[in-house]
């Protein structure tokens, strides 16, 4: 099988990102800055040959993906398998709130206990299995081509760990920046990291049009 090139993108910023509130499967929209980030990322990828753009069906990701798909002239396909980790009852909370009210759960969470899931949510093992199987399935559809995967911080984290052969328990020291451009290569042997956390496109000014004058 030929390799598939993957461009992996986290959605643009939301107000909950700024407030450090955990979004999980809650459907939070992009804020104005996140919309700008999505447009800048789309402009940066406009010259790329892209077979398809696959996106989490949550609107913060799908809005980001729609801008990219339009710029690349590629079909947009919503893929629930690319959703963020389900954080169960703690969705909408800050970690500080969890720590104050449920210190034992917070310790397991902070310690990256792979058997821990918030009530109604997923473990780290659950999201790893879901993201990697979804990415592999989509990449196999486009052997020899290039696809874009638009999702969430959890998606990027799992792709990076797999590419770098890092365990789930390893504390994270790599960025998961909103709307940064990340590149990987997929083969049946797994993922290889090509480039990570490219944000050069945020240094470029968006051209004015009638709506911005």
Catalytic residues: 11, 84
Closest CA to 158 of 136, 181, 188: 136
> Is residue 206 a known part of a binding site?
no
Handedness of CA 115, 178, 160, 171 (dihedral sign): negative
> Is residue 122 a known part of a binding site?
no
Chain-centroid distance, C-alpha 66: 14
> Is residue 13 a known part of a binding site?
yes
- CB contact at 8 A, 155 and 84: yes
> Is residue 111 a known part of a binding site?
no
> Is residue 211 a known part of a binding site?
no
Closest CA to 122 of 135, 109, 110: 109
> Is residue 17 a known part of a binding site?
yes
Provide the Cα torsion 35, 11, 24, 92; round to 10°: -30
Closest CA to 54 of 167, 126, 136: 136
> Is residue 57 a known part of a binding site?
no
How far apart, in whole angstroms, are the C-alpha atoms of residue 209 and residue 152? 30
Contacts 24+ apart (CB under 8 A), 107-111: none
> Is residue 18 a known part of a binding site?
no
Which residues on neighbouring strands pair with residue 36, listed in sequence order? Answer: none
> Is residue 129 a known part of a binding site?
no
Binding site listing: 10-17, 60
Binding site listing for substrate: 10-17, 60
């Amino acid at each position: 099988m030929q390799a598939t090139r993957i461009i992996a993108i986290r959605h643009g910023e939301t107000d909950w990102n700024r407030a450090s509130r955990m979004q999980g499967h809650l459907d939070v929209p992009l804020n104005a800055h996140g919309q700008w980030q999505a447009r800048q990322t789309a402009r940066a990828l406009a010259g790329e040959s892209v077979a398809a753009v696959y996106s989490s069906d949550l609107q913060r990701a799908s809005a980001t993906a729609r801008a990219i798909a339009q710029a690349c002239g590629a079909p947009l396909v919503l893929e629930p398998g690319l959703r963020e980790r389900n954080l169960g009852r703690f969705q909408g909370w800050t970690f500080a709130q969890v720590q104050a009210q449920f210190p034992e759960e917070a310790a397991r969470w902070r310690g990256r206990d792979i058997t821990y899931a918030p009530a109604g949510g997923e473990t780290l093992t659950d999201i790893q299995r879901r993201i990697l199987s979804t990415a592999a399935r989509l990449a196999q559809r486009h052997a020899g081509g290039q696809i874009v995967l638009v999702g969430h911080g959890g998606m990027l984290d799992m792709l990076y760990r797999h590419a770098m052969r890092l365990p789930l328990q390893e504390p994270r020291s790599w960025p998961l920046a909103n709307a940064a451009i990340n590149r990987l290569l997929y083969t049946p042997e797994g993922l290889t990291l090509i480039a990570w956390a490219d944000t050069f496109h945020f240094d470029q000014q968006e051209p004015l049009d009638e709506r911005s004058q």
